[in-house]
Amino acid sequence: MTKKKNYVTMDGNTAAAYASYAFTEVAGIYPITPSSGMADSVDQWAQQGRKNLFGQDVRVIEMQSEGGAAGLVHGSLASGALTTTYTASQGLLLMIPNMYKMAGELLPAVFHVSARAIAGHALSIFGDHSDVMAARQTGFAILASHGVQSAMDLGIVAHLSAIRGRVPFMHFFDGFRTSHEIQKVEQIDYADLAGLVDMEAVNAFRERGLTPNEPCLRGSAQNPDIFFQMKEASNEYYNALPEIVEHYMDEISRLTGRTYRPFVYHGAPDAEEIIICMGSVYDTACETSDHLNCQGRKTGVVHVHLYRPFCADRLLEAIPETVRRIAVLDRSKEPGAQGEALYLDVVSAVSCANLPVVVSGGRYGLGSKDTTPSQIKAVFDMLAGDPVKEFTIGITDDVTHLSLPVTETLEVSPEGTFTARFWGLGSDGTVGANQNSIKIIGDNTPMYAQAYFSYDSKKSGGVTISDLRFGNSPIRAPYLVESADFVACHNQAYISKYDMLKVLKKGGSFLLNTTRSAEELEEFLPGQVKRFLAENEIRLYIIDAVKMAQEIGLGNRINTICQAAFFKISEVIPVDEAVRHMKEAIVRSYGDKGEDIVNMNYRAVDAGIEEVREVKVPESWKDAPDTRAPLREATTFV
């Protein structure tokens, strides 16, 4: 009988942490955004007494810096304990000296990296591949995931391959876009993984561990007479590694039904133009390619899962013979180079094979710049027309003029996908409420669900934007919502500061949390907002969640009230069912805080359902003139 699959709603950090926990005996940690969630999950599970795959407790040790964590990992591995760490950005850079040592000593470390920008001209806490590319020379194998599910699946492959291959692995995925995206994924049972572990390799690794009972020499200094030879002696391990990785990818594919290869191709079998990429942009490119192919184009996409060792022969096998033009997308920038890292690897592979192919190199997504289907179409259009050697997408480059123009907005989501956007104030509970909504729908219905949260750098007290998608088909949309069925504004001060309605579909719903009555909206709402509501037949709802939260005793925590109002307005699932699940979640979250807290949150749910009001949009609002923002007094300098 086929084993029933267990689906759980989680983010990419949790998925990678779950994969790593199975194979970890010691975790050396130090938190850094956006990887902290992985170490936090592992620490919590260890405190709860959860066992790893070997039936052991996992020892979690937090150090005082990333360099300290890397030193701990190195020492722990040298003593014969399977050891893992989690990091990003400058944290990864601080680990590089130890990474060279681990690779040189053939220690099966696994680093899980939520890839993030490196501070250069400015600090950015957001995602790109700058950190990973800075560490690609260390001797670590590099495995790239493109989404929450693959973060779990390939995280497992990384550990299994490191154990058998004796080469340390860096498993990475996009910081924030994957690390913080919540998706409904299959959680693989540890029991199904037990048979995949090469226990002979595990035992051999443990026997090589340093012990005072059997002294041996490690980490010696070598002179010119032997250093070079010893460096080359590790070649056989790296030559054997692609086959080992492929073996475990096949095992995970057999176990899950999801196909993994070092290079995965998606698209037309007779494609003429393709994109080669790593990370979450793969799903965006696949959606766009499918859309274009339905219109008669011949396009495709290759995802590079195994980036190091880079296997040119396997890449060429993945590319259809009909391909004549390739665009390589890099999420990093190497100033002064002939091109970025992945681009140069692809050019080398194509040139050595003497293929009649034109290769263009493009940069995208630096510092978490959003990458949309419209931008991917611009890449395919460039390939189909007059290919350029170097380009960028997602920005307007008015300095070196490398950016590709976007000529149209594409809507490529599967029919029936419901999309929503929520504007909140950091710490008002909006993000937490939307996380609960996703889990309610993902864990209690057959629907697929996705959530992604955008913050400014202040987080608490700053603007938060929550993008949610629900549907009956898998959701492959690692980009911000561009066309929403529902928009909510949980802070009325935003209504005149931000253009919140530009993504709202005609006939969509807008919920405004406001202290104003329906009659006062005529004077309160800016003219351009009133005109948009009327011209686009928007259904307008209002609720005074702030007043209700204070009356109930929740202070400024409006999240539960607004969450209930969303379920009533959207009807994504039946309202009664949503209320039941919300109240069950309240008991799980606050049951240990006493009956009074639980009852207050119960009343918040009921208030959100009962007090939300629809406001009829007057026809006269179609003629409303723009409201100019008042100029504040400031010095000439400001």
pLDDT digits (tens, 9 = 90+) for 301-319: 999 999 999 999 999 999 9
Average pLDDT of span 514-539: 95
- Is pLDDT above 60 for 193? yes
Q: Among residues of the chain, what percentage have pLDDT more than 70?
A: 98
Residue 572 CA to residue 563 CA, distance in Å, equals 12
Hey, what CATH class is 263-392 in? alpha beta
Residue 44 CA to residue 436 CA, distance in Å, equals 20
Average pLDDT of span 225-242: 96
Sign of CA dihedral 454, 392, 93, 107: positive
459 falls in which pLDDT band (50, 70, 90)?
A: low
- Is pLDDT above 90 for 630? no
Average pLDDT of span 379-389: 96
Sign of CA dihedral 54, 59, 60, 65: negative
Yes or no: domain 7-214+222-255 corresponds to CATH 3.40.50.970: yes
- Match 């109930």 to its residue by tokens: 552
Average pLDDT of span 506-534: 95
Residue-averaged pLDDT of the chain: 94
457 falls in which pLDDT band (50, 70, 90)?
A: low
Average pLDDT of span 257-284: 97
Sign of CA dihedral 354, 355, 358, 359: negative
19 contacts 159 by C-beta, under 8 angstroms: yes
C-alpha atoms less than 13 angstroms from C-alpha of 310 in its C-beta half-sphere: 18
pLDDT digits (tens, 9 = 90+) for 62-81: 999 999 999 999 999 999 99
Query: Looking at residue 398, what is its pLDDT?
Result: 95
Average pLDDT of span 565-569: 96
Which helix (DSSP H) or strand (DSSP E) does residue 346 occupy? helix 341-352
Query: Looking at residue 455, what is its pLDDT?
Result: 81
Residue 266 CA to residue 302 CA, distance in Å, equals 6
Q: Which of 255-269, 333-347, 374-388, 443-457 has the lowest mean pLDDT?
A: 443-457
Domain boundaries along the sequence of the chain: 7-214+222-255, 263-392, 418-623
Residue 264 has a CB neighbour count (10 Å cut-off) of: 18
Query: Looking at residue 413, what is its pLDDT?
Result: 86
2 falls in which pLDDT band (50, 70, 90)?
A: low
- Is pLDDT above 80 for 169? yes
One fold for both 7-214+222-255 and 418-623?
no
Query: Looking at residue 458, what is its pLDDT?
Result: 65
- Is pLDDT above 90 for 116? yes
C-alpha atoms less than 13 angstroms from C-alpha of 218 in its C-beta half-sphere: 19
Q: Among residues of the chain, what percentage have pLDDT more than 90?
A: 87
- Cα 38 from chain centroid? 13
pLDDT digits (tens, 9 = 90+) for 467-483: 999 999 999 999 999 99
In this structure, what token pair is assigned to residue 107? Answer: 């220690």
Residue 96 CA to residue 454 CA, distance in Å, equals 30
Residue 460 has a CB neighbour count (10 Å cut-off) of: 10
Q: Which of 127-136, 162-171, 450-459 has the lowest mean pLDDT?
A: 450-459
Residue 585 CA to residue 590 CA, distance in Å, equals 8
Into which CATH architecture does domain 418-623 fall? Answer: 3-Layer(aba) Sandwich (3.40)
Among candidate residues 47, 66, 54, the one with its CA nearest the CA of residue 24 = 54
452 compared with 432, residue with greater pLDDT: 452
